[in-house]
Amino acid sequence: AQSVAQPEDQVNVAEGNPLTVKCTYSVSGNPYLFWYVQYPNRGLQFLLKYITGDNLVKGSYGFEAEFNKSQTSFHLKKPSALVSDSALYFCAVLSGNTPLVFGKGTRLSVIA
Amino acid sequence: DTAVSQTPKYLVTQMGNDKSIKCEQNLGHDTMYWYKQDSKKFLKIMFSYNNKELIINETVPNRFSPKSPDKAHLNLHINSLELGDSAVYFCASSPPGLFYEQYFGPGTRLTVT
């Protein structure tokens, strides 16, 4: 069965510093990987995805993620964090005909 | 215009009651989903419909019954509500196929007392 691990419940970073939110996955076939963000009392919003091709994927709001097949990781990154980036971030994976499986989420707090 | 809308936004009801949550999308997508997010923010798929046809039905009590009158709507009916049903329920939609991102509604916070 496919699964996603987000090892950090909370990530704190100072405004202007780079941020990384970690994600590792486990699938039996080729993975299709997604990052979503959830602001308080809102639905999830799509940030970026990896389907195939270039391992470095760029998405909304200056976020990017790098697919690393050997480490089965898909970490989310941003060179310079903003206070407005503070939210709950979800990594998700699917493979084959299985439904999208979400990680438990990582709360990002950017401190001014 | 809201792409994926849900009503109501909040729903407070007593155990044993029956309630419905409505979802509509105006994106022209063929596929719609229902997710449950529990108090720890864990998100799990419940159902998926493609062009009004059920394609995913995860391990969900049969008290939950989705209904899709047309491909723009996917409603969730819940019978005999239990305390453990308290959660935020999200509707989402996407074009058909594995590679497309999903668009989520704002959520319905269900509280069962």
Q: Which of B34, B57, B98, B103 to mutate: most A Cβ within 10 Å?
A: B98
Query: Are A102 and B43 within 8 A, CB to CB?
Result: yes
Distance from CA of A102 to the nearest CA of B (A): 6
Contact indicator for A100, B103 with CB cutoff of 8 Å = no
Q: Could you read off the pLDDT of A73-87 as tens digits, one per residue?
A: 999 999 999 999 999
Mean pLDDT of B14-43: 95
Mean pLDDT of A54-68: 95
Q: Could you read off the pLDDT of B53-76 as tens digits, one per residue?
A: 887 777 789 999 999 999 899 999
In this predicted structure, what is the pLDDT of residue A17?
98
Query: Are A99 and B107 within 8 A, CB to CB?
Result: no
**What is d(CA A49, CA B101) in angstroms, rounded to the nearest whole number?**
8
**Average per-residue pLDDT in chain B?**
92
**What is d(CA B113, CA B84) in angstroms, rounded to the nearest whole number?**
10
Please tell me what DSSP assigns to residue B62: T
**What is d(CA B60, CA A7) in angstroms, rounded to the nearest whole number?**
27
Interface check for A60 against chain B (CB to CB < 8 A): the answer is no
Closest CA to B83 of B40, B42, B112, B110: B112
SS (H, E, C) chain A: CCEEECCCCEEEEECCCCEEECCEEECCCCCEEEEEEECCCCCEEEEEEECCCCCEEECHHHCEEEEECCCCEEEEEECCCCHHHCEEEEEEEECCCCCCEECCCEEEEEEC
